[in-house]
């Protein structure tokens, strides 16, 4: 067995086992939050998922910068794989946030800075995936995507700032994970940490799988190009 | 390597000359923007009370979408005539190419906006000719042209370029749109300079960041 296979198997087994434990902890072990009730349990998914989304987009930034610097396809494969996983997790973050907000805030969505920035972030990386789908395979498409991967990441702090300023005109919703973080119960805090490490391991596993799959896709595409040119 | 600014000037002059003959870009921006102003009038049915509230939004939606249209045209013309390859073969730096194309697009967008603004004033019964508002429009258009030129050069080489440019462009320019809408709202209501200044600073900071980034990134985009 090759080293990469051992690493992937290991990550899979550990994250799957932790997932089971975390599910038990979330639904049975952890005490119910006094004010928010049972619905608060979704935080143990929502917060780690959001963290993985941001982590993935940071990996896109690193991969994009690496590609423009070195021009080796491994950086591009890393960036692309991370972007796909990032979009998946950001979508899950938006969905878990929306279904939680309706019963608790009474609305599906508010244009709060945090929510709006997340939505813009999601849109930028959906555009990234569209760009990959529509641009030619190979170096040109990789360069385009790398430029967007960096531009998107630079843009997000400015988007956040502009929306914070924009929203200060209106009353702000101060409910949310950030508002409660100061007085989190120690069991809840610990569970959040465990859940976050579980999702981070899951991210590492997915990234490793997607990365090697992307490598194969690149090889297939290269072979197809060669076959075309020989015909 | 030829000198930087004379090359830029030559590039801008080339764009202006071809625009004078074809009248392609400014007319399409203009027609689209005026049409959207009129459509908004039907869609929102603004009464005198709500006009000041919706007017800045209407103006900036018209400018933004019409701007996207103009930016697509700027590179479609280059690409379809095979001109882009010719430009890349000349001994000009990518930096000069970027600045030339960006200034060209900026000029065309500003030309169109100069005509759109009086139309907007008439249709919405407002007086938009205030120094603050003109400054906001200038700064926001610089931001549009800077990032738009970079993304237009990317979108031109993709399939379905018409959808790719707005998909890339609109999420990134959100800070400009927010800044421009809020500050022109304040300016149109005759609010004090101190309220608009922080938004103008936001747009200016965005412009600087985007200009520097696009200048560097353009080199990686145009390598055939």
CA distance A177 to A181: 6
pLDDT value at position A184? Answer: 62
Q: B91 phi and psi, to 5 degrees?
A: -75, 55
pLDDT tens digits, B34-87: 999 999 888 888 788 888 888 899 999 999 998 998 888 888 878 877 888 888
pLDDT of residue A91: 96
Q: Which of A73-77, B21-25, B27-31, B216-220 has the lowest mean pLDDT?
A: B21-25
User: Nearest-CA distance from B20 to chain A in Å?
Assistant: 32
Q: Please give the pLDDT value at position A158.
A: 85
Q: Which residues contact B129 (CB under 8 A, 6 or more apart)?
A: B117, B121
Residues of B in contact with A151 (CB under 8 A): 147, 150, 172, 213, 217
Residue B180's nearest CA partner among B71, B56, B37, B55 is B56
pLDDT at B1: 53
Residue that has been written with the tokens 């991969």 in this structure: A63
What's the 3-state SS for A61-96?
HHHHHHHHHHCCHHHHHHHHHHHHHHHHHHHHHHHH
In the numeric block, the tokens 């709202």 are attached to B185
- Chain B positions touching A161 (Cβ under 8 A) are 175, 202
Which of B159, B171, B217 is the closest to A147 by Cβ? B217
Chain A / chain B CB contacts < 8 angstroms: 81
Best mutation target among A116, A135, A162 (most B Cβ atoms within 10 Å) is A162
Q: Nearest by CB to A162, which of B154, B179, B209?
A: B179
Per-residue pLDDT, averaged over B165-182, amounts to 92
How far from each other are the two terminal CA atoms of chain A, in whole angstroms?
37
B158 and A131: CB-CB below 8 Å?
Answer: yes
What local confidence, expressed as pLDDT, does residue A173 receive? Answer: 43
- pLDDT of B135: 93
CB contacts, 8 Å: B221 with chain A: 143-144, 147
Q: Which helix (H) or strand (E) holds B1?
A: none
Nearest residue on chain B to A122, alpha-carbon basis: B171
Q: Interface pTM (ipTM) of the complex?
A: 0.89
Residuewise pLDDT in 10s, chain A (231 residues): 688 889 889 999 999 999 999 999 888 888 877 777 788 888 889 989 999 999 999 999 999 999 999 999 899 999 999 999 999 999 999 999 899 888 888 888 888 888 888 899 999 999 999 999 998 888 888 999 999 999 998 888 888 888 887 775 444 444 444 444 455 678 888 888 999 999 999 999 999 999 999 999 989 988 988 898 887
Q: Which residues of A touch B163 (CB under 8 A)?
A: 130
Computed over every residue of chain B, the mean pLDDT equals: 88
Q: Could A154 and B213 be called an inter-chain contact, meaning their C-beta atoms sit closer than 8 Å?
A: yes
């Amino acid at each position: 067995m090759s080293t990469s296979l051992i690493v992937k198997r290991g990550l899979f087994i550990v994250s799957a086992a932790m997932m089971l434990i975390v599910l038990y902890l979330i639904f049975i072990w952890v005490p119910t939050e006094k004010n928010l009730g049972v619905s608060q349990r979704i935080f143990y998914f929502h917060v780690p998922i959001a963290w993985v989304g941001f982590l993935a987009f940071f990996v896109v930034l690193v991969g994009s910068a690496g590609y423009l610097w070195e021009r080796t396809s491994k950086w591009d494969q890393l960036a692309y794989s991370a972007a796909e996983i990032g979009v998946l997790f950001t979508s899950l973050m938006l969905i878990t946030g929306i279904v939680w907000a309706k019963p608790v805030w009474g609305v599906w969505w508010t244009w709060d800075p945090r929510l709006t920035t997340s939505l813009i972030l999601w849109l930028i990386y959906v555009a990234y995936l569209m760009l990959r789908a529509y641009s030619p395979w190979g170096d040109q498409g990789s360069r385009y995507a790398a430029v967007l991967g960096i531009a998107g990441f630079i843009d997000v702090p400015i988007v956040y700032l502009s929306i914070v300023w924009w929203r200060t005109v209106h009353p702000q919703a101060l409910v949310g994970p950030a508002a409660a973080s100061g007085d989190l119960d120690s069991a809840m805090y610990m569970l959040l940490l465990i859940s976050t490490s579980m999702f981070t391991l899951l991210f590492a596993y997915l990234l490793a799988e997607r990365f090697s799959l992307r490598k194969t896709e690149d090889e297939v595409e290269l072979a197809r190009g060669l076959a075309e040119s020989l015909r | 390597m030829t000198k930087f600014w004379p090359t830029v000037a030559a590039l801008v002059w080339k764009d202006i000359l071809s625009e004078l003959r074809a009248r392609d870009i400014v007319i399409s921006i203009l027609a689209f923007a005026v049409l959207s102003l009129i459509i908004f009038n039907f869609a929102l049915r603004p009464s005198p009370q709500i006009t000041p509230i919706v007017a800045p939004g209407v103006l900036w939606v018209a400018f933004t979408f019409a701007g996207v249209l103009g930016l697509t045209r700027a590179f479609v013309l280059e690409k379809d005539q095979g001109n882009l390859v010719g430009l890349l073969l000349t001994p000009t730096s990518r930096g000069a190419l970027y600045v030339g194309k960006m200034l060209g697009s900026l000029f065309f967008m500003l030309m169109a906006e100069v005509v759109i603004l009086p139309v907007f004033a008439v249709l919405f019964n407002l007086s938009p000719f205030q120094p603050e508002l003109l400054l906001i429009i200038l700064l926001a258009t610089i931001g549009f042209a800077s990032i738009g030129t970079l993304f237009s050069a990317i979108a031109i080489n993709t399939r379905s370029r018409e959808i790719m440019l707005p998909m890339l462009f609109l999420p990134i320019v959100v800070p400009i749109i927010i800044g421009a809408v809020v500050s022109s709202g304040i300016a149109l209501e005759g609010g004090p300079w101190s309220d608009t200044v922080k938004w103008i600073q936001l747009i200016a900071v965005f412009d600087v960041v985007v200009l520097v980034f696009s200048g560097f990134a353009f080199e990686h985009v145009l390598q055939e």
